[in-house]
Amino acid sequence: MSRALMVDKVDGEFNYAFVDLTDDDLPDGDVLVDVEYSTVNFKDGLVVMDASPIVTSWPMVPGIDLAGTVTGSTNPDVAVGERVLINGWGLGEGTWGGFSQRARVDGAWTVPVPAGLTTAQVMAIGTAGFTAMLCVLALEDHDVYAGSGPVLVTGAAGGVGSIAVALLAALGYEVHASTGRLEEIAYLESLGATTVIDRAELSEPSKRPLARVRWAGAVDAVGSHTLANVLAAVSPEGCVAACGLAQGMDLTTTVAPFILRGLTLRGVHSVTVPRPRRLLAWERLATDLDTDLLGSMTETISLDEVPHTAAEILAGRVRGRVVVDLNDI
């Protein structure tokens, strides 16, 4: 038997429960994994708290990330005993996810745990860190490098933001961090931010199509008015990697940043990233991210604590990353 957190909706009524599953209960797939760790992302919070219509099939085991050891495989490319991780591919949304001690998955989704990292560390990175790395790659793809000028990270005290700050600083960028939690200034400086600004500077609607240039690029996890204001303040030929909607899904802006400054707005998602890009991102995370800093931004909880943490992450009260320990429940 394996322990799992399951959510369900019957006749419009949502509920969650901790359940015991047999392998026969698990969905179809060609790889069976003993899940050692998962993690709580913002999207997991939305699912566990039924705060957004993300789930496409009920009942559902949430958890968009998992890492563990393969205990069964009919996939020739995935060996029994291999340490693997999975993030994306509809895990925890359309197919059962990582908040379970056992998971049966499509072997094509698995990625070998990079050399030098543990299953706990890759879950400390998780989808949030993977997304942050994709944002860094997007900046590099558009020639925004350490020497280009300051780079802004919004939502900087959250999961994506914390790892983005740490990655960019490690790569030599001058990192400016925007947050609504000014009590986290010391934390953000410890990750490598040189300047911390109050998110209130960016969160209100602006009537100006362009503003004074402040940054060469940005990683935005917030959306809405914040993203519009960031776009207006990025230098010519700059790039903004947009990956979140913590403030909102709306975006009211003009074409001015694009046609007058040649700005690129690069959308970043993490779900169906092609395998070569996916492997590159994990390889870069293994080499570019300081694991001591990763540890400093990570909290570990039990499966039983996931619902409380899900509510906290939606309320903006979670700093950095949260790992779920599924061993020996």
198 and 82 together in one domain: no
Residue that the structure tokens 């169906």 belong to: 272
Same domain, 206 and 254: yes
85 and 15 within one domain: yes
Q: Name the average pLDDT for the chain.
A: 97
- Residue 199's pLDDT is 96
Report residues of the chain scoring pLDDT below 50.
Answer: none
- Whether residue 105 lies inside any domain: the answer is yes
Indicate whether 44 belongs to any domain.
yes
> What value, to the nearest 5°, has the Cα angle with vertex 151 and ends 248 and 122?
75
Rounded Cα gap, residues 73 and 33, in angstroms: 9
pLDDT (0 to 100) of residue 164: 98
Instruction: Identify whether 284 is part of a domain.
Output: no
CATH number of the domain encompassing residue 17: 3.90.180.10
Q: Does any domain span residue 280?
A: no
How much is the pLDDT for 143? 98
- Per-residue pLDDT at 328: 80
Is 63 in the same domain as 141? no
Domain count, the chain: 2
Same domain for 231 and 145: yes
Query: Distance between CA 102 and CA 73 in Å, rounded?
Result: 13
- Flag whether 283 is in a domain: no
The set of residues, in sequence order, having a beta carbon less than 8 Å from that of 282 and lying 6+ positions away, is: 85, 111, 114, 122, 130, 133
Shared domain for 207 and 96, answered yes or no, is no
Q: Are residues 15 and 94 in the same domain?
A: yes
Q: What is the pLDDT of residue 206?
A: 87
- Cβ contact 202:184 at 8 Å: no
Which tens digits make up the pLDDT trace of 262-305? 999 999 999 999 999 999 999 999 999 999 999 999 999 999 99
Residues 231 and 309 in one domain: no
Q: Are 177 and 193 in contact (CB under 8 A)?
A: yes
**Structural domain includes residue 119:** no
CATH of the domain at 239: 3.40.50.720
Do residue 51 and residue 159 come from a single domain?
no
Full domain range(s) for residue 46: 2-113+297-325
Same structural domain, 152 and 255: yes
For residue 157, what pLDDT is reported? Answer: 95
Beta-bridged to residue 244, according to DSSP, are: none
Same-domain pairing of 134 and 233: yes
